[in-house]
Amino acid sequence: MSKATNWLTALIVLSMVLGVLFGEFILFDSDTPIGGDHWTKSVGDLVLIRPLKMLVIPLIFLSVVAGITRIGDPSKLGRLGLSTVAYYLGTMLIAVVIGASLVSFFQPGQLDPEVAATLQQDGQALFDANETKRTQIQDMQSQSLGSTWMNILSQCIPTNVFAEMVNGRPLGIIVFALGFGLALAAGGRRTEAARRFFDAAFEGMMIFVQWVIWLTPIGVFFLVAWTVGTIGFATILGPLGSYIGVVLLGLLIHGALVLPLILWLLTGTNPYRFMWQMRRALLTAFGTDSSSATLPVTMDCAEGEGGCSKRASNFVLPLGSTVNMDGTALYEAVAVVFLFQLFGFELAFSELVVVVITATLAAIGAAGIPSAGLVTMVIVIAAVNSSLAGTGEALPLAAIGVILGVDRIVDMCRTTVNVWGDATAAKVMTRIAPDDPDGD
Ligand code: ASP
C-alpha cells in the first residue's frame, strides 16, 4: 500500500509541475489569457472533480453512521462533539487573528495613488464582466447576517434528508446520520445486522475511494494548467503581489507553525510526520480548490497512513470539510482589510474586532467549494460598512473585483490549510475516541 501511495504522490507532484509549465508557457499569453471556460478546466472537472464529488454525499452518510455506531455511547459522543466544535472554533479564531494582525502590520493596500486607482478601475471592470460571481455576491449581500445563520441552522434540522442529499447540503445529512447511528447503537441485538451492514458498506465505499483517487494526477494536471493559464505567474509579482504575499505568509504561519504546535501539545505526535502522511490529501486540496471534493482522499489518508481512529475521523472529517475553514477565515480577514486600505479607509481597532468575528462566521458559512470564501466575504464587508455607517462612507461591493482575478491561486493555498486543519482535528480527537484494538 505504502509503495502504491508513494507512487501516487510522485505522480501528483509530477503532474502539478507539468501543469504549471504547460499553463505558463503554452496556455498563458499575457495579451489574451485563457478564459474561465477553457477546455482544460472542463477536462479537469470531468476527470477528477466530478468523480470525487460523486463519492462525497454517500461517503458522508455512511462514514458518520458507521463512525457513530462504533462510538455507541451518547455521552462519549457528546464529549467528542463538543471537543471537535471547540477545536474548530478555537483554531479558526487564531487563524483570523493572525490574518488581521499581518494585514494591519504590512498594510499591503497602501499603494501609490495611481496604482491604487488603476487597480480599482480594473476591479470594477472585472466585477461587471463576471456575471456569475456578481450575481452570487449580490445575492449574498441581500441576506443579513441573521438570515445567513438562520439558513445554516435550518440546514442542520432538515425536513427531508433525501432533499439534502439531492441538493448536496452536508449539514443536514450529518445530523440525520448522527441520530440514526445513535439509534442503531442503542438498538443492541435488534439492530446488530444493520450496524454490520453500514460498517461493511463504509468499508466498500473506501475501497471505491481508493480506486477513484488514482485519477488525481490526471485531473490535477489539467486544473493546475488552467489556473496558471488564466492568471499567469507575472500577476504574483504585480501590484497585488503584496496582498498575495500577506495571505500566503499568514497561511504558512498558521499551517506550518501554529497548527503543528497545537497538534504536538495536544497529542505529542510529530506534526510534520503527520503532515507527510496526509500529503496526498493536501496536494489534492491544492489541485482541486475544494475541501469537500478532497474529503474522500482526506479520509483515506487519515484512516490509513495517518493513523487516525475511525471513531473520530468518520465524524470529525465530514463535519470539518463543511464548517472548519482556518485558511478561508484567515484569507477573509486579510482580503477585507486590504480592500478597505486600498480604497483609503483606516480601520480602527473596533472595526478589526468586527472583522475577526464576522470572518470566522463567514468562513463557517462558506461551502467547501472553489471561491466560496470570496462570496461569503460580503458578510464581513457589510458588517464593517455598517459599523462605519456614522461616517457616511462605505466600501463598494465591486471592490471584490480587485482580487477576483487572482483568487484561484489564493484559493488553492487556503483550501490546503482548510484540509490540514481538519486532519489535525481528526488526529487530536483520536485521543478522545480511539478505535478498539480488535478494530471495532
Ligand atoms: N475553496 C475553499 C474550500 O473548499 C473555500 C474557499 O475559501 O473558497 O475549502
State residue 371 phi and psi, 5-degree precision.
65, 10
Mean pLDDT for 231-236 is 78
Q: For residue 188, how far is its CA from the centre of ligand 1 (angstroms)?
A: 40
Pocket of ligand 1 (CB under 6 A): 289-291, 325, 328, 366, 368-373, 411, 414-415, 418
pTM score = 0.91
Question: 110: CA distance to ligand 1 center in Å?
Answer: 27
Flag whether pLDDT at 291 surpasses 60.
Answer: yes
Taking the CA of residue 332 as reference, the ligand 1 atom at the shortest distance is: 7
Torsion-angle region of residue 371: left (phi > 0), alpha (psi -120 to 50) or beta?
A: left
- For residue 156, the surrounding DSSP H or E stretch is helix 145-156
**Closest C-alpha to ligand 1, atom 7:** 373
Q: What pLDDT was estimated at residue 317?
A: 96
Residue 146: count other Cβ atoms within 10 Å of its Cβ. 8
Section 140-153 average pLDDT: 75
Atom of ligand 1 nearest to the CA of 374: 8
In this predicted structure, what is the pLDDT of residue 436?
A: 79
Please report the pLDDT score of residue 102 as a whole number: 97
Q: Is 223 in contact with 15 (CB distance < 8 Å)?
A: no
Residue 415 alpha carbon, nearest atom of ligand 1: 9
Instruction: Give the DSSP H/E element, type plus range, for residue 17.
Output: helix 2-21
Nearest alpha-carbon partner for 266 in 127, 391, 431, 382: 431
**Substitution candidate for ligand 1 out of 251, 288, 291 with most atoms within 8 A of CB:** 291
- Which pLDDT band holds residue 312 (cuts at 50, 70, 90)? very high
* Mean pLDDT value of segment 389-400: 84
Q: Which of 36-45, 146-155, 235-244, 254-263 has the highest mean pLDDT?
A: 254-263
Find out whether 132 and 375 touch, Cβ atoms under 8 Å: no
Whether residue 435 has pLDDT greater than 90: no
For cell 497561511, the residue is 251
CB 270 within 8 A of CB 281: no
What pLDDT is attached to residue 38? 87
Give the mean pLDDT of 252-265.
98
What mean pLDDT is predicted for residues 421-428? 98
Least confident of 23-37, 186-200, 224-238, 383-397: 23-37
d(CA 100, CA 61): 36
What pLDDT is recorded for position 28? 79
Instruction: Give the residue, by CA position, lying nearest to ligand 1 atom 6.
Output: 373
Ligand 1 atom at shortest distance from the alpha carbon of 294: 4
pLDDT (mean) for 110-127: 89
CB 291 within 8 A of CB 368: yes
| Cα-to-centroid distance, 372 and ligand 1 (Å) | 5
In the chain, where the domains are located: 2-429
Question: What pLDDT score was predicted for residue 231?
Answer: 81
Query: Which pLDDT score, from 0 to 100, does residue 145 have?
Result: 67
Q: Regarding the domain delimited by 2-429, which CATH topology (the fold level of the hierarchy) does it fall under?
A: Proton glutamate symport protein (1.10.3860)
429 C-beta neighbours (distance < 10 Å), count: 27
Averaged pLDDT, 232-246? 86
Q: What is the mean pLDDT of residues 350-362?
A: 93
29 pLDDT tier (thresholds 50, 70, 90) = confident
Q: What SS3 class is residue 325?
A: coil
**What span, in angstroms and rounded, lies between the C-alpha atoms of 145 and 95?**
21
pLDDT interval class at 71 (50, 70, 90): confident
Q: For residue 91, is pLDDT > 70?
A: yes
- CA-atom Rg of the chain in angstroms: 22
Which residues have a Cβ under 8 Å from the Cβ of 215 and sit 6 or more positions away? 47, 48, 51
Q: How far is the C-alpha of 110 from the C-alpha of 99, rounded, in Å?
A: 17
Other residues' Cβ atoms within 10 Å of the Cβ of residue 54: 14
Let me know the angle formed at the C-alpha of 118 by 114 and 123, rounded to the nearest 5 degrees: 145
Residue 341 φ/ψ region, left for φ over 0, alpha for ψ in the -120 to 50 degree band, beta for the rest: alpha
User: Which residues, 6 or more positions from 349, have their beta carbon under 8 angstroms from its beta carbon?
Assistant: none
DSSP letters spanning 300-354: HHHHTTT---HHHHHHHHHHHHHH--HHHHHHHHHHHHHHHHHTT----HHHHHH
Q: What letter represents residue 291's amino acid?
A: S
Q: What is the mean pLDDT of residues 329-345?
A: 96
Which atom of ligand 1 approaches the CA of 418 most closely?
Answer: 9
Q: What is the pLDDT of residues 163-215, one digit of tens each?
A: 999 998 899 999 999 999 999 999 999 999 999 999 999 999 999 999 999 99
pLDDT average, residue stretch 37-62: 93
Cα of 369 from ligand 1 centre, angstroms: 5
Where residue 2 falls (left for φ over 0; alpha for ψ -120 to 50; beta otherwise) is alpha
Buried-state track 263-274, b at ≥16 Cβ within 10 A, e below 16: beeebebebeeb
The chain-wide mean pLDDT, for the chain, equals 91
- pLDDT number for residue 143: 72
Contacts of 345 (CB under 8 A, 6+ apart): 388, 393, 395
Q: Name the grid cell of 277.
A: 502522511
| Percent of the chain whose pLDDT exceeds 90 | 70
